[in-house]
Amino acid sequence: MKKEICPMSKEDIIFDFKKGLEAEYRAMGLCEKLLPLLDHELDKEDINKIIEDEKEHIEITNRLIGVVDKYFTD
């Protein structure tokens, strides 16, 4: 059986993850800017949930970058 080779390099995968991180940080930042503009507590709760979700995405993506960096071989 022939070994499958990933069509992407380690650097390409990490680059894509880092671009994704930029989007997560941007989304979190926009939500943080929106928060003080809201009057309704339920709206604030919803935005805070989104912020926490973005933080989790950032943590997961950083871990994925670490896994690819440590274990991926071209």
For each of the chain's 74 residues, which pLDDT tens digit applies?
Answer: 666 666 789 999 999 999 999 999 999 999 999 999 999 999 999 999 999 999 999 999 999 999 999 998 76
3-state secondary structure of 67: helix
Q: How far apart are CA 39 and CA 31, in angstroms?
A: 14
Query: CA 37 to CA 46: how far, in whole Å?
Result: 13
